[in-house]
Amino acid sequence: MAGNRAVTFMGPRKVEVKSYDYPKLVGPKGQKCEHGVIVKLVATNICGSDLHIYRGRFPAPSGTILGHENTGEVVEVGSHVEFIKKGDLVSVPFNVSCGKCRNCKEGHTDTCMNANDEMDCAAYGFNLGGWQGGQAEYMMVPWADFQLLAFPDKDQAMEKIRDLTLLSDILPTGFHGCYTAGVRPGSTVYIAGAGPVGRCAAASAHLLGASAIIVGDSNQERLALVKKAGYQTVDTSKLDPVADQIEAILGVREVDAGVDAVGWECHGQGPDAPEEPTAVLNTLFQVVRANGGMGIPGIYARGDPEARNEAEKQGKYALAIGQAWIKSPHLTAGQCPVMHYHRELMMAILQDRMPYLTPLLNTQFISLDEVPEAYRKFDAGAPVKYVIDPHGSIKTAA
């Protein structure tokens, strides 16, 4: 039987491809997972969240196999599995969820109560429950019947794999940001961040029928992708306040909805602005109109070792709630429950309703050996979505 090569976090800014045994139907604490399957990875993406770990800002043990954006073929099926079959091409939601606890039953697979002993939240390749990641040749996925989204037609899926690989995390995550912010037909929306999640949020806003879609970032190459897709941009490397830049576009200083696609590692405004963890949220409090919503899929951490002060080390950030209160704002933070959205988004992709996704994402397929270099480039702001093709399956299909 084959072994397994996998991208391994070895410490801040250090990832290596290491060799492991082929995975077993066994969980992080050695428990049997006969409800699980082994997936042969076809496409496994590098995510902005991986960079939090890569930079040492989101503590994870050395030796963690990274990768929570996984798509692949089922090659082994546990004895308790009823419906998923060997050979299925599946999208694996990044959240690990049992399908049997109160939260899962209520649709909140982002906060499964059974997949992580330490808290009600689990994910692959993260420090959340110990489930190994999928930036690898193979991975184990528990509770397969509940969790996996099987594509209806494998050939069709391989043709659209460039877009479908986004279903495991960032497309639903961007969508969740828009959805919880209340984006609907006709909405004007400001999305902070033109990284892959921000660009997926822009595509989601488009699918949701938004009118003006405005994306802010200081990275000019990423902004260029946004403009090319027909959306509008705010350049946060300029000193002009975001509200001024929005006014220049819309004629008014506020939008209906705001999405934070950055998180706490964001920067203040202007050229070479330093990190300023409250910059995005406090900007949203300003530029989202009365009764508007904010979706916050961008991560806010507690326990960042590089936080500026004691309050931020404890996860407390100076938010402008006193400025915004009179505007009756509402906000939703946290991880996306991928299962809530992935089937619908798959349907939109399969029926060709998101032609804007491919150019916006600017996906580049790489081999496992190219991964360490890709982390470096992505960390430096490359306007690219890196997708690993560990077995060359996509290359072959193309």
Applying CB under 8 A, which of residues 28, 334, 372, 381 lies at the interface with a second copy?
Answer: 334
Q: Which stretch binds a second copy (CB under 8 A): 12-20, 37-45, 57-65, 104-112?
A: 104-112
Binding mask 107-126 for a second copy (x = CB under 8 A): xx-xx--x----xxx-----
374 token code pair:
């890709």
CA-to-CA distance for 37 and 141, rounded, in angstroms? 5
3-state SS, 54-78, equals: HCCCCCCCCCEECCCEEEEEEEEEC
Cα 123 to Cα 66, 72, 111, 338, 396: the distances in Å are: 10, 17, 10, 11, 30
Least distance (Å) between residue 357 CB and a second copy: 13
Q: At what angle do helices 196-207 and 220-228 cross, to 10 degrees?
A: 20
Contact status: 396 vs a second copy (CB under 8 A): no
Q: Which stretch binds a second copy (CB under 8 A): 46-54, 94-102, 356-364, 389-397?
A: 94-102
**How big is the site for a second copy, counted in residues (CB under 8 A)?**
87
Site for a second copy in 376-395 (CB under 8 A): none
Instruction: State the number of CA atoms in the 13 A half-sphere of 54 facing the CB.
Output: 23
CA-to-CA distance for 163 and 377, rounded, in angstroms? 21
Q: Which stretch binds a second copy (CB under 8 A): 19-27, 233-241, 338-346, 379-387?
A: 338-346
DSSP class of residue 275 equals B
CA-to-CA distance for 290 and 312, rounded, in angstroms? 28
Least distance (Å) between residue 69 CB and a second copy: 19
Applying CB under 8 A, which of residues 167, 261, 301, 360 lies at the interface with a second copy?
Answer: 301
Measuring CA to CA, which residue among 42, 6, 45 is closest to residue 23? 6
Contact status: 269 vs a second copy (CB under 8 A): no
Amino acid identity, residue 314?
A: Q
User: b/e map of 371-380 (b: 16 or more CB within 10 Å)?
Assistant: beebbeebee
Applying CB under 8 A, which of residues 170, 346, 384, 387 lies at the interface with a second copy?
Answer: 346
Query: End-to-end alpha-carbon separation of the chain, Å?
Result: 28
Site for a second copy in 42-81 (CB under 8 A): 80
95 token code pair:
């959240």
Q: Which stretch binds a second copy (CB under 8 A): 20-28, 45-53, 342-350, 386-394?
A: 342-350
Applying CB under 8 A, which of residues 92, 139, 166, 348 lies at the interface with a second copy?
Answer: 348
231 forms beta bridges with none
- Measured from the CB atom, is 150 or 366 closer to a second copy? 150
- Measured from the CB atom, is 47 or 301 closer to a second copy? 301
Contact status: 344 vs a second copy (CB under 8 A): yes
Applying CB under 8 A, which of residues 24, 86, 227, 316 lies at the interface with a second copy?
Answer: 316
Contact status: 155 vs a second copy (CB under 8 A): no
CA-to-CA distance for 214 and 254, rounded, in angstroms? 11
Least distance (Å) between residue 205 CB and a second copy: 10
Measuring CA to CA, which residue among 396, 342, 277, 276 is closest to residue 97? 342
Contact status: 278 vs a second copy (CB under 8 A): yes
Least distance (Å) between residue 18 CB and a second copy: 28
Binding mask 9-48 for a second copy (x = CB under 8 A): -------------------------xx-------------
Mention every residue, 6+ apart, whose C-beta is less than 8 A from residue 73: 39, 40, 42, 87, 88, 89, 90
Applying CB under 8 A, which of residues 170, 350, 368, 371 lies at the interface with a second copy?
Answer: 350
